[in-house]
A and B are shown apart, each in its own frame.
Chain A
């Protein structure tokens, strides 16, 4: 047997692919697949979710969770204003809205399942004019009118189900990527809902007050609250305030609203009630 000792060529057992290129191709592939599958799923879920009777939502024990956490009662002024807003929004007959107030510094308001709207004291304190409060109420009522809470909950459920199936078989660090991508997909829908609710609120302001400065005032408040740089839009449940302002201004322009009337101040008894809450 002849024996020789040749020099073994380099790189015969490895591939020459650039690891970064492979990473990019695979990551983009996964993100693309996840986004398209989830978007399709969400669209399918939406076909059914808004057929869920509102009555079922109302039967959920949401009220027990929200409550009037500290027993604070809404002042008549807010009740009257809410009624005025709601009666102008053409809600379906079976839909009724309950406005809650929470005595807390949080600058926020939200709408949830069962027609419940929650407004925090922190947000009320930032407001100067009635139109701004009306814009908030109209925005939240619009969420309920278009069934956004039940749609959002259904998206969460559907996406969670798919993710739990995938992540049980996928590598756990990859599951993180899948989870983040699906969050981003769901947020896109959430941002669309915000635009829809803004649109409805602006239409309502124009209908009641003849102008929509209340919405613009509200967005200015949001900007001053997040005076730091706002994060990237696709990582958020809400659109950037600048983009919301853009939509509002183009709507005001399209509807040719001429701004003549000035905004309404809050009545004195409401101002003193709010001051006493703190």
Chain B
């Protein structure tokens, strides 16, 4: 009985705070993406041809986001049946976009116009801790081109 009450409260807390945080994060991501649109970020390994007068510099941005209890519970259930873990899709989407935003922010601060050869890496940083609630790190890095 008490187990069930604890489980339901944890799920409710996880859902409430998790959804609130996610909504807030998405609003902030959209706002900043609009501001930083002027800095294109591309995956191409070759810098844009034509203007050779650029300095280049490494820029990186990383973010760690924790899974909430509710998301993890739903993902655990999905683990039994199979299928898309939709509760983690938004989590990783937020993490990737936030990491790229941090790259852009860094690039903008150093006066860059363009970032090429962008790479993304993902790591779950709770491995080996079975009971820990999961969290995910996304690291984005690329080469910023600063006009000289």
Give the segment of A53-61, A62-70, A157-165, A173-181 that binds chain B: A173-181
Across the interface, A19 reaches (CB within 8 A) one of B80, B84, B87, namely B87
Give the chain A neighbours of B1 by CB distance below 8 A: 231, 235
Q: Does any Cβ of B come within 8 Å of A13's Cβ?
A: yes
Number of B residues near A (Cβ < 8 Å) is 36
Give the segment of A26-34, A42-50, A142-150, A214-222 that binds chain B: A26-34
Across the interface, B79 reaches (CB within 8 A) one of A7, A19, A22, A174, namely A174
Across the interface, B76 reaches (CB within 8 A) one of A3, A10, A170, A231, namely A170
Digitize B117-148: 1 where CB-to-A-CB distance is under 8 Å, 0 elsewhere.
00000000000001100000000000000000
**Are A10 and B81 in contact, with the CB atoms below 8 A?**
no
With both beta carbons as reference points, the residue of chain B lying nearest to A15 in the complex is identified as B86
Q: Does any Cβ of A come within 8 Å of B37's Cβ?
A: yes
Distance in Å from the Cβ of A101 to the closest Cβ of chain B? 30
Main secondary structure of the interface of A (DSSP, over half): helix
Max count, chain A CB within 10 A of own CB: residue among B4, B42, B69: B4
Q: Does any Cβ of A come within 8 Å of B52's Cβ?
A: no
Rounded to whole angstroms, the CA-CA distance of A26 and B78 in the bound complex is 7
**Are B86 and A176 in contact, with the CB atoms below 8 A?**
no
Digitize B1-21: 1 where CB-to-A-CB distance is under 8 Å, 0 elsewhere.
101100100010001000100
Rounded to whole angstroms, the CA-CA distance of A59 and B60 in the bound complex is 72
Distance in Å from the Cβ of B84 to the closest Cβ of chain A? 6
Sorting the interface of chain A by its residue count into under 10, 10 to 19, 20 to 34 or 35 or more gives 20 to 34
Give the chain A neighbours of B75 by CB distance below 8 A: 171
Give the chain A neighbours of B55 by CB distance below 8 A: none
* B:57-106 near A, CB below 8 Å: 69-81, 84, 86-87, 89-90, 92-93, 96
Distance in Å from the Cβ of B77 to the closest Cβ of chain A? 4
**Are B7 and A176 in contact, with the CB atoms below 8 A?**
yes
**Are A170 and B93 in contact, with the CB atoms below 8 A?**
no
Q: Does any Cβ of B come within 8 Å of A172's Cβ?
A: yes
Q: Does any Cβ of A come within 8 Å of B30's Cβ?
A: yes
Given A30-B80, A170-B79, A174-B76 in contact, is the A23-B89 Cβ separation under 8 Å?
no
**Are B131 and A174 in contact, with the CB atoms below 8 A?**
no
**Are A14 and B86 in contact, with the CB atoms below 8 A?**
yes
Ordered by A's residue number, 23 sampled pairs between the chains whose C-beta atoms are within 8 Å are A1-B49, A5-B40, A7-B37, A13-B89, A13-B92, A13-B93, A13-B96, A14-B90, A19-B86, A20-B15, A22-B74, A23-B70, A27-B77, A29-B77, A30-B80, A170-B79, A173-B72, A173-B76, A174-B80, A176-B3, A176-B7, A177-B73, A235-B4
Interface residues, chain A, with chain B CB atoms under 8 Å away? 1, 3, 5, 7, 10, 13-15, 17, 19-20, 22-23, 26-27, 29-30, 170-174, 176-177, 180, 231, 235
Sorted nearest first, the 3 A-B pairs with minimum C-beta distance are A171-B76, A174-B76, A26-B77
